[in-house]
Chain A
Amino acid sequence: MSNTPSELRYASSHEWSREEADGTITVGITHHAQDALGDVVFVELPEVGRQLTVGDECAVVESVKAASDIYAPVSGEVVAINEALADSPELVNSDPYGEAWFFKIKPTDSSELDKLLDADGYLASL
């Protein structure tokens, strides 16, 4: 898989978003972000049910190097979180686009997805 998959949308703050068949949005952080952070040791996720507005601080990634805030790429309700990250934070480094998804949002305004960057736009922003 490419380091910046072309089917995903991106925020310049390094979150990726994937629209699922059921309309939910899956969110994680990019290869570039995990590489810059170094070994991830803790991931703090939002609670299921939390209502997010685009841009809200909603998660934290702690690496050996620094703590990094994660921002909601779209508005909506958190409908699922990835429990695997509690025991295996290193998945963020090894599989940022697959096993290390952070949470899923049921979006309130699907046009917000169009405001995100595509892969080229994200790469250009780096």
Chain B
Amino acid sequence: MGLRTPLYDSHLATGARMVDFGGWDMPLHYGSQIEEHHQVRREAGIFDVSHMGVVDITGADATAFLQYLLANDVGRLQAPGRALYTAMLNPDGGILDDLIVYRLADGYRLVVNAGTRQRDLEWVRGQAAGRQVEVTERRELAMIAVQGPLARARCASVMTDAQAALAERLEPFHGQAEGDWFIACTGYTGEDGLEIMLPAAEAAAFWNALQGAGCKPCGLGARDTLRLEAGLNLYGADIDEQTSPLAANMAWTIAWEPETRDFIGRRALERQRQAGDLPRQVGLVLEQRAVLRSGQKVMIDDREGVITSGSFSPTLGCSIALARVPRNTGDSARVDIRGKWLDVQVIRPGFVRNGRKLF
């Protein structure tokens, strides 16, 4: 038996197929992951993301601490309510986790991946030792993502007036508290939508209300095909401790300026940037009737790469993948699929955004 979120019973009641995910019992799907995927692109889907870690950083040194801990610069969050996406690196420049940081009225909130949650907490606590910083894991909160073109409207229809006002007007990468709830305009699907942190005791009622408003429960299967279509990394597949952000389409998340800001991994990254020979991340599109999968070999300009995550794209009706390939290669490649070499199109990572094909 794995760890269970406050919505475990709700998932069973909806007929979820449960699987283990990083030690948690989570819904893989509720019947058809492809149907769930379509529902998010066309209307609104809801995801239980309570397994992710919510960690508040407060105290006099909170800003300086996070400016050292994280590769992106929280100094860019010029007012409470703003958020950013960042890598958290080890001293070798490898990615310990990718996460979102929200600036709160007092301090910051980090949302980290479920699989790395424990390790991240130990790391953050270790780095915070000796500083005027409190690290508080918010275990009493559940988290629900509502994603899709109708997400905000359906969400607002089952919220209090004050919550609904936020739900309707928050801009992307902004989040704000309303009573015990924290409502953010962020997500992992490439659609408009919200991520809502709320007391665990209120989660099941809100989940049911969202369903009543027409939001469809969506599991990990749909979550994966949606984020892959959006070109978003999955920790443990596309990125890990051995991966540099510069090799994973995350160079834009590194705040090099000001040069005086030292952060964990900065020196290693500068050496990598100087050497300029890291691999790059690309998107692959297969028109033939087969599926690209993690670990398959890629040949591009006679040089070798590998698929880091692949699947079927329900929105495009064909298979797509993210791959790590050598720098300075072109835009056509072949992939070894079960012993046969098939041609693929090479594009920048990112296939669908707001329901539309990107290439």
Chain A interface residues (CB < 8 Å from chain B): 38-39, 41-42, 44, 62, 64, 66-67, 90, 93
Contacts and interface: CB of A to CB of B under 8 A. Distances in A.
A38 B291 contact: no
B225 interface: yes
A100 B240 CA distance: 41
A88 B217 CA distance: 24
A44 B338 CA distance: 13
A39 B33 contact: yes
Nearest to B311: A64
Nearest to A62: B291
27 contacts: A38-B28, A38-B33, A38-B221, A39-B32, A39-B33, A39-B34, A39-B221, A41-B291, A42-B289, A42-B290, A42-B291, A44-B289, A62-B289, A62-B290, A62-B312, A64-B34, A64-B221, A64-B225, A64-B291, A64-B311, A67-B290, A67-B291, A67-B293, A67-B338, A90-B32, A90-B34, A93-B32
Interface in B13-43: 28-29, 32-34
A11 to B, nearest CB: 21
A60 to B, nearest CB: 8
Interface of B: 28-29, 32-34, 221, 225, 289-291, 293, 311-312, 338
- Interface of chain A, helix or strand or loop or mixed? mixed
A67 B311 CA distance: 11
B227 to A, nearest CB: 14
Is chain B's interface secondary structure helix, strand, loop, or mixed overall? Answer: mixed
Nearest to B28: A38
A61 to B, nearest CB: 11
A93 B291 CA distance: 18
B18 to A, nearest CB: 14
B289 to A, nearest CB: 5
A79 B280 CA distance: 48
Nearest to B317: A41
Given A64-B311, A93-B32, 15 more contacts: A38-B28, A38-B29, A38-B33, A39-B32, A39-B33, A41-B291, A42-B291, A44-B289, A62-B312, A64-B33, A64-B291, A64-B312, A66-B293, A67-B291, A90-B34
Q: A38, A64, A67, A90: which has the most chain B beta carbons within 10 Å?
A: A64
A62 B291 CA distance: 7
A114 B110 CA distance: 62
Contacts of A93: 32
Contacts of A90: 32, 34
A30 B251 CA distance: 48
A63 B217 CA distance: 21
Contacts of B293: 66-67
A69 B62 CA distance: 55
A93 B221 CA distance: 16
A67 B32 CA distance: 17
A67 B225 CA distance: 17
Contacts of B34: 39, 41, 64, 90
Contacts of A42: 289-291
Contacts of B33: 38-39, 64
A1 to B, nearest CB: 18
Contacts of B312: 41, 62, 64
Contacts of B221: 38-39, 64
A42 B338 CA distance: 15
A39 B33 CA distance: 7
